[in-house]
Amino acid sequence: MSSTLHSLKDLTDSSRCVGKRVGKSAVPSPQMVSPGIMAAMERSILNDVTDESKKLHKLGYYHGLRPRADCEALLKNVGDFLLRSRVMIDHTTKRRTFELIISVYSGVRREHLSLYYDKKTMHWDLNIYRRKRHKHSIVEGRASRFLHLSDMIAYYQANPILNSVKLTNPIRRPDWIITAGCLKYDDQKDELGRGNFAVVIKGYIERRDKPPLQVAVKKLPEERIDDERTERENACNALFKEAHLMNKFHHPNVITFYGVCCDLPPVMVVTELCAGGSLESHLVKTGDAISNGERLLFITEAARGMNYLQRKNCIHRDLASRNCLIAANGVVKISDFGLSKMVEATAKITDDTVPKNLPLRWMAPETINRQPKFSSKSDVWGFCVMIYEVFNNGIKPWNSDDDYRKIGHAIRNGKMPEPPKRTPAEMLDLMKSCWQMDPEKRPNFCDILKEVREMSKKNPKLAYPVAKECTTSKIPGVIRIEPKEEELEKSLMEQPPINTLSSDDLKRSSSVTNTNTTTTTTTTTSEDLEHKCTPKNKNKRSRH
């Protein structure tokens, strides 16, 4: 056995769903390993392909259904390798095939070698060699079939898998990939919301020595899983993009990200469960009982979250009261970072038509065209529309008008509706500045935060209420905390970056982002998640 082999024990030690912090230094060091020990270790895991699909997550280098582009970004040195999977669907029979792939860097390009499992002989093989044998071609080297997947990996660590390349360095999956066995949910009973892009379900994660943790699970709707391959992959990639973004953010007014479950289909993004539901829903249900002081508190907390995101060079693009959630402590949090769907939809905009799946009423003038210019200043415009909702009991502008061409024309010309009558005079000036046609003349979120804080201090009618007087305290499962003055003051000191990236810049830097986030770890208390291998529709208010 070559001394370059890495211990599979190091890569299969998964006593928790989410492991310790992993950086480059955490990659297992080479050591001698007996093939018999490795085979025995995984024999119970890999006896047949059905068990394989359920238990692959025990392999630390198995990255599940992670997108190909993501995986390629991880393979930097010759011999770097990982194991991933994809789902193939026969659209005639609707039969789904679970395919395993070894991705390895040859020094010239990233190679993706699919594996074949023969149920009759119960052996593993590389498809490229199986096809050669079928054609009675000469197969380079030994390249025999293997009873266990671990035998195959061990063999190609010692012998070339392709040309002269060996599987030298297994790439460990990042902490934020959660295993399916930890996640429990009932998609028939616990659905929280549904859209064209994803469905959100209430679930929980099992934890070691602690009660289960309630979470929100976002996944592709069942009908999307059977989409054409390109559409399905685009939807899956969008979930991963959202996860990459959320993994960077840690702020009391931004929803907490726990991880992605992708070892088995469907891919799921797991976040904290906000017991109070959406801000939009609370505004609609509670109506006039909400004081202007509490409304200003909602706006302040949302501004805190957006100021943080602006400093992180994040452009939300879909800011609205429906995407602000009320946490169990009563605090408003920014959510829904599924950004790519809007970029695709804007490509269909013409002077005469606007796609109905766009959140048109919240979009800035410069974004309503075929080459939209998203920026933090377009988020400011959308934030102002959210202010309109807050003082209008959750009712969106142009609520009774479904003429999207007419609405789009009005926004392009800066003809926004009159603010609700209960809107304070001080807020009218802020809204006017946020709805300026020139994006550069709009305030940034730090400025907005300062202004709303001053409103609360100077006008007794706009003073933030104490926790017990907040209407959010009456929501089942919500216990409102007292607004922390020191945290609000600290937010005022947080200045935005000098150069905020545009949406085009973010596109160009996406490959770098994907690479960096693989070594970024969440600060949530996920180390105590317990590892286990055992794996209705409420109408959402219109977003148009």
DSSP 89-132: EETTTTEEEEEEEEEEE-SSSEEEEEEEEETTTTEEEEHHHHHH
Is position 348 within any domain?
yes
Spatial contact of 172 and 519, defined as CB atoms under 8 Å apart: no
Catalytic residues: 318
Residue 482: which of 330, 283, 298 has the closest Cα? 330
Do 288 and 267 share a structural domain?
Answer: no
Cα separation values, 39 from 14, 156, 539, Å: 17, 14, 50
- The token pair at 217 is 């699970």
Do 339 and 483 share a structural domain?
Answer: yes
Of 221, 242, 272, which one is at a domain's C-terminal end?
A: 272
Is position 531 within any domain?
no
Which residue blocks in 391-498 are alpha helix, DSSP H? Answer: 404-412, 425-434, 445-458, 485-492
Distance CA 43, CA 150 (A): 9
pLDDT at 13: 37
Is position 54 within any domain?
yes
Do 262 and 314 share a structural domain?
Answer: no
Q: Which residues are annotated as a binding site?
A: 219
Distance CA 404, CA 402 (A): 6
Which residue blocks in 312-394 are alpha helix, DSSP H? Answer: 340-346, 376-390
- The token pair at 522 is 């969440």
Cα separation values, 164 from 41, 152, 160, 169, Å: 28, 16, 5, 15
Do 351 and 213 share a structural domain?
Answer: no
Find the radius of gyration of the CA atoms of the chain: 26
Do 132 and 144 share a structural domain?
Answer: yes
302: exposed, middle or buried (C-beta count within 10 Å: 0-12, 13-18, 19+)? buried
Do 477 and 382 share a structural domain?
Answer: yes
pLDDT at 3: 32
For residue 133, which amino acid is it?
R
The CATH number of the domain holding residue 259 is: 3.30.200.20
Spatial contact of 320 and 382, defined as CB atoms under 8 Å apart: yes
pLDDT at 451: 97
Give the residues across from 110 on adjacent strands. 105
pLDDT at 502: 35
Do 140 and 20 share a structural domain?
Answer: yes
Distance CA 447, CA 502 (A): 19
Do 285 and 184 share a structural domain?
Answer: no
- The token pair at 310 is 């602006």
SS3 sequence, 427-458? HHHHHHHHCCCCHHHCCCHHHHHHHHHHHHHH
The CATH number of the domain holding residue 67 is: 3.30.505.10
Spatial contact of 308 and 254, defined as CB atoms under 8 Å apart: yes
pLDDT at 143: 54
Distance CA 487, CA 479 (A): 19
Region for 256 from its dihedrals, namely left if φ exceeds 0, alpha if ψ lies in -120 to 50, beta otherwise? beta
* Positions in the chain short of pLDDT 70: 1-55, 91, 94, 129-144, 195-197, 222-232, 338-357, 485-544
- Which residues have a Cβ under 8 Å from the Cβ of 367 and sit 6 or more positions away? 317, 346, 373, 374, 378
The CATH number of the domain holding residue 326 is: 1.10.510.10
Distance CA 363, CA 361 (A): 6
Q: Which residues are annotated as a binding site for ATP?
A: 219
Spatial contact of 529 and 206, defined as CB atoms under 8 Å apart: yes
Is position 442 within any domain?
yes
Of 174, 189, 222, which one is at a domain's C-terminal end?
A: 174
Do 184 and 138 share a structural domain?
Answer: no
Q: Which helix (H) or strand (E) holds 504?
A: helix 503-508
Do 422 and 303 share a structural domain?
Answer: yes
pLDDT at 35: 39
How many domains does the chain contain in total?
3
pLDDT at 404: 85
Q: What does the pLDDT look like over 129-166, one tens digit per residue?
A: 665 555 544 444 445 688 888 888 999 999 999 889 99
Taking the CB of residue 369, how many other CB atoms lie within 10 A of it? Answer: 15
Spatial contact of 445 and 452, defined as CB atoms under 8 Å apart: no
Which domain covers residue 158, as residue numbers? Answer: 8-174
Is position 102 within any domain?
yes
Do 48 and 82 share a structural domain?
Answer: yes
Distance CA 278, CA 325 (A): 4
